[in-house]
Structure 1
Amino acid sequence: MTLSPAVNLNAHVQGKGFPILCLHGHPGSGSSMSVFTQHLSQRFLTLAPDLRGYGNSRTQLNFQMTDHLIDLESFLDRFQIDRCLVLGWSLGGIIGIELALKFPERVSGLILLATAARPRSSHPPISWQDNLYTGVASILNTLQPSWQWNIDTFGKRSLYRYLIQQHSSTAYRYLANHAMSAYLQTSAAAYRALSTALKAGYNRLEELQQIQCPSLVLTGAADRHITPESSLETAQHLKNCQWQCYPNTAHLFPWEIPDQVLSDIDCWIDRHPQAVSSIKGSGKEK
């Protein structure tokens, strides 16, 4: 099989210090990881690429999910990063797991959010009314972010009810700033690649024992896209892992309770200094 050439990924880079690679979900883009990068870049170098077929990393050619690893290896080489902490949200978490399996020497730690090594969904069927309400809610929220009338009239009846549980102004501001643009910039090739992977099935539970670095797995209790049960199953297969489930939140919980999530990530990093160390097995940052 001929390997796909690497795509030169568009990158959102902030801060300085030990590198943290932030990987977005589907649909998504590097800018949708700003909830993490704006905070973590105060202490670290954060790099949030637009994955192949997303954001400004454009491609019209068909590709496979494994091609993301080719791109990210090239991406790390471009920025001369030998070792980094990987933070992945949803699809980004699955890609983070794959990076840790393929390049264990380059991944110092894993922070996995709303993701699983054997992802399972409990999402109900989607109706035309769901799509209609979601479209109207999204357009109005883009024009007037966090408009309470729109949240109550359309937002709570739309597909957002499966993505968030707390229909707060904070969550809807993140939706306005990042969700619509990420959706519009996600290519047909990216949808095809994900659809193909889902049909083939994905299960890396048995391989997780190979991952030696510390990991943090976070999930929302009402996540219908990747269930908290599948997230817990992943955490139980990782050797050095902390798992946390947030009540009354769903798949987009970092946008629902950002302060709590960021505080918990900070605490985990402080307890695992080896995750932000350029020397494997060291507790001190080089």
Structure 2
Amino acid sequence: MAANLHVHIQGQGFPILGLHGHPGSGQSLSVFTNHLSKRYKTIAPDLRGYGKSRFHGNFTMQAHLTDLEALLDRLQIEKCLVLGWSLGGILAMELALRLPQRITGLILVATAARPRGNHPPITWQDNFYTGVAGLVNCIRPSWRWNIETFGKRSLFRYLIQQHTPTAYKYIATAAVPAYLQTSAAATRALYTALRLGYNRLSDLEQIDCPSLVLAGAQDRHITSESSLETAQHLQNSQWQCYPNTAHLFPWEIPQQVLSDIDCWLAKHPQVISSQ
């Protein structure tokens, strides 16, 4: 049975469905939706067990697809472009496989059909510095002293490479609230799928809509190599890798990323057309 997802809707025009990562929420995609909603209708749901889409009990990753198909039906969206970040990118590809006639194109951010990471072991010091850095950053976002003293020693150093005020602003306003609202059931669903060895590479040839695949060169959570592998298996894809960035690269270099998305959309007008 589908869950009734909480959804953030902005703008008018051709619909773009935005899918967040783990942990995350629809608000985590504001870096994209605030820009794209000036020309399109952006729809950014909180996935089941995330944000304000509360759900009691366990579920599998397939439940997210059931929820998203029901959401498109509820909003009477026949066709849409899908932008997915991390876990959201995996769900975007799954939707394109499940609903090929409804998905006009894919923007895949820091994601892969066979996700692989190279994250170092996490120590208690990592967790301590991350907790302090996150708390102080929520109270005083982008405070340089906190960034230099705690931020660069915390797990943030594996999520971003450029410790800029802009990146820390997004961490304070989007990442920390999303982390606190992510349910244990959502975490279990994701890690169960990963332990089973999630791999959809061989099925990507079935996706023929245009795809833009974006990666951070120093991504430790989903490596740029695995993103490139995904792009190479998609029939109609463009791949771009940003140097000196990591998993949260849209928060590190937002203007560059948005500019590249705009250029790709201009080159592929069919992905924002209902015809």
C-alpha separation in 2, matches of 1:278 and 1:51: 25
Q: Which of 255, 262, 265 is residue 251 of structure 2 equivalent to?
A: 255
Q: Which of 61, 86, 91 is residue 90 of structure 1 equivalent to?
A: 86
Q: Which of 261, 268, 276 is residue 272 of structure 2 equivalent to?
A: 276
C-alpha separation in 2, matches of 1:201 and 1:56: 29
| 1:221 maps to amino acid | A
Is 1:67 aligned to 2:63, yes or no? yes
Q: Is the 8 A contact 1:214 1:275 kept in 2?
A: yes
| 1:228 maps to amino acid | S
C-alpha separation in 2, matches of 1:28 and 1:18: 24
Q: How much has 1:195 moved relative to structure 2?
A: 1.4
Give 5+ residue unaligned stretches, structure 2: none
Partner of 2:109: 113
Q: How much has 1:198 moved relative to structure 2?
A: 1.0
Is 1:226 aligned to 2:222, yes or no? yes
Q: How much has 1:264 moved relative to structure 2?
A: 0.2
Is 1:155 aligned to 2:137, yes or no? no
C-alpha separation in 2, matches of 1:95 and 1:107: 12
| 1:173 maps to amino acid | K
Q: Which of 2, 7, 27 is residue 6 of structure 1 equivalent to?
A: 2
User: Can you list the C-alpha shifts for 1:209-266, whole angstroms capped at 9, x where unaligned?
Assistant: 0001000000000000000000000000001100000000000000000000000000
Q: Which of 197, 200, 203 is residue 196 of structure 2 equivalent to?
A: 200
C-alpha separation in 1, matches of 2:14 and 2:71: 16
C-alpha separation in 2, matches of 1:212 and 1:199: 29
| 1:237 maps to amino acid | H
C-alpha separation in 2, matches of 1:222 and 1:252: 10
User: Can you list the C-alpha shifts for 1:88-134, whole angstroms capped at 9, x where unaligned?
Assistant: 00000000000000000010000000000000000010001101100
Identity of aligned residues (%): 72
C-alpha separation in 2, matches of 1:86 and 1:112: 8
Give 5+ residue unaligned stretches, structure 1: 280-286
Q: Which of 126, 131, 135 is residue 135 of structure 1 equivalent to?
A: 131
Partner of 2:206: 210
Q: Which of 122, 126, 129 is residue 126 of structure 1 equivalent to?
A: 122
User: Can you list the C-alpha shifts for 1:139-196, whole angstroms capped at 9, x where unaligned?
Assistant: 0000000000000000000000000000000000000101110000000100111111
Matched residue SS, 1:95: helix
User: Can you list the C-alpha shifts for 1:259-284, whole angstroms capped at 9, x where unaligned?
Assistant: 000000000000000110112xxxxx
Q: How much has 1:60 moved relative to structure 2?
A: 2.1
Q: Is the 8 A contact 1:24 1:30 kept in 2?
A: yes
RMSD across aligned C-alpha pairs, in angstroms? 0.4
Q: Is the 8 A contact 1:60 1:188 kept in 2?
A: no
C-alpha separation in 2, matches of 1:28 and 1:209: 29
| 2:94 maps to amino acid | E
Is 1:28 aligned to 2:39, yes or no? no
Q: Which runs of 4+ in 1 moved over 2 A?
A: none
| 1:138 maps to amino acid | G
Matched residue SS, 2:50: coil
TM value normalised by structure 1: 0.96
**How many pairs align?**
275
| 1:93 maps to amino acid | G
| 2:175 maps to amino acid | A
C-alpha separation in 1, matches of 2:172 and 2:60: 30
C-alpha separation in 2, matches of 1:207 and 1:214: 16
Partner of 2:260: 264
Is 1:51 aligned to 2:47, yes or no? yes
Matched residue SS, 1:217: strand
Q: How much has 1:70 moved relative to structure 2?
A: 0.3
